[in-house]
């Protein structure tokens, strides 16, 4: 018995081969010279006239032959595709995570969709913003985001001071050097907020995603392992289309 995964494996090759052969046949039909033939002989008016050799050209391409070849090429493609599509109607499997069927009797076409979507979702989750690990964060239920404890810091201001290096005399003024001193003038009380996620939460999400991704792949393989019945559609279609 043929299995669905075997049909899927050959479908692409059959399709590309059919398209290549059809393109070749179509090109041949676009060349009128290949479809035309001729046979002619020459007879002078009298015995003394010039004798010329006969001319002939054979027909190289026959449209009916091209149609028969087209039918032969497409019949295989039609049969393979029909076999796959008929099988996809009944190919199903459970998506099992941690020994429990998370999804039951999922069609193989939907498993393919789910697999693609989970891959894209995985890329999104990997880029989720993380909380700054240098801070201690607590979740605030009321505001539904994270916050740090209040931190109090001193606000300072530079105040100029004079340093007398030499006292004034009758002959010289005092030598004074100006310097600045940081003086506390107030206090900042700071609380940081964030809508990002702890690394632990992101890792949990990634773990679940990867577990589900694997489960979907296993389910797809199981569904594609279904034994199927080969469909014979091409002969019926082309028997009708190209019959004489």
> pLDDT tens digits for 49-67?
888 888 888 888 888 888 8
Flag whether pLDDT at 171 surpasses 80: no
Which residue in 129, 106, 84, 89 sits closest to 212, CA to CA? 106
pLDDT the model gives residue 32: 83
Question: Of 12-16, 96-100, 146-150, 214-218, which gets the smallest average pLDDT?
Answer: 12-16
d(C-alpha 30, C-alpha 134), whole Å = 73
Pair 107, 214 in one domain: yes
In a domain, 143, yes or no: no
Is residue 35 in a domain?
A: yes
Reported confidence tier of residue 93, pLDDT bands at 50, 70, 90 = very high
Domain housing 46: 1-90+228-244
* Shared domain check, 210 and 117: yes
3-state secondary structure of 104: strand
Question: Could you tell me if 118 and 221 lie in one domain?
Answer: yes
Instruction: Tell me whether residue 121 is in a domain.
Output: yes
Count of domains for the chain? 3
Note whether residue 2 is domain-resident: yes
pLDDT value of position 191:
94
φ/ψ of residue 228, rounded to 5 = -125, 170
Q: Do residues 43 and 51 touch, judged by C-beta distance below 8 A?
A: no
| Residue 116 counted as domain residue | yes
Q: Tell me, yes or no, whether 83 lies in a domain.
A: yes
73, 234 Cβ separation under 8 angstroms: no
If asked whether residues 110 and 18 sit together in one domain, one would say no
**105 located within any domain:** yes
Q: Where does 33-99 show beta strands of DSSP type E?
A: 38-40, 55-57, 92-97
pLDDT of residue 38: 86
The 3-state DSSP composition of the chain as helix, strand, coil percent (nearest 5) reads 45, 30, 25
Averaging pLDDT over each range in 2-11, 24-33, 111-120, which range is the top one?
111-120
167/126 same-domain check: no
Same domain, 14 and 71: yes
50 and 98 both lie in a single domain? no
Residue 145 lies in a domain: no
Count H helices, E strands: the chain? 6, 11
> Do 36 and 58 belong to one domain?
yes
Tally of residues, the chain:
244
Predicted local distance difference test score (pLDDT) of residue 1? 67
Q: Are residues 183 and 210 in the same domain?
A: no
Residues 86 and 35 occupy one common structural domain: yes
Greater confidence, 175 or 200?
200
- CA atoms of 115 and 130, how far apart (whole Å): 26
- Both 69 and 119 in one domain: the answer is no
The reported pLDDT for the residue numbered 104 is: 95
End-to-end CA separation in angstroms for the chain: 35
Same-domain pairing of 8 and 74: yes
């Amino acid at each position: 018995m043929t299995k669905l995964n075997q049909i899927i494996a050959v479908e692409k090759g059959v399709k590309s081969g059919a398209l290549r052969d059809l393109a070749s046949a179509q090109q041949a039909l676009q060349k009128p010279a290949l479809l035309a033939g001729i046979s002619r002989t020459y007879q002078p008016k009298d015995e003394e006239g010039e004798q010329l050799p006969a001319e002939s050209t054979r027909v190289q391409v026959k449209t009916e032959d091209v149609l028969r070849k087209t039918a032969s090429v497409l019949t295989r493609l039609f049969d393979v595709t029909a076999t796959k599509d008929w099988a996809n109607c009944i190919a199903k499997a459970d998506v099992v995570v941690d020994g429990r069927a998370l999804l039951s009797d999922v069609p193989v076409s939907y498993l393919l969709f789910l697999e693609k979507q989970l891959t894209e979702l995985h890329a999104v989750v990997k880029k989720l913003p993380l909380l700054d690990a240098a801070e201690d964060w607590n979740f605030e239920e009321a505001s539904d985001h994270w916050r740090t404890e209040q931190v109090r810091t001193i606000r300072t201001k530079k105040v100029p001071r004079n340093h007398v290096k030499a006292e004034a005399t009758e002959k010289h003024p005092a030598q004074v050097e100006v310097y600045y001193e940081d003086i506390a003038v107030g206090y900042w009380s700071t609380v940081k907020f964030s809508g990002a996620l702890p690394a632990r939460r992101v890792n949990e999400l990634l773990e679940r995603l990867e577990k589900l991704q694997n489960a979907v792949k296993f389910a797809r393989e199981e569904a594609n392992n279904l034994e199927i019945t080969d469909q014979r559609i091409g002969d019926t279609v082309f028997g009708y289309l190209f019959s004489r």
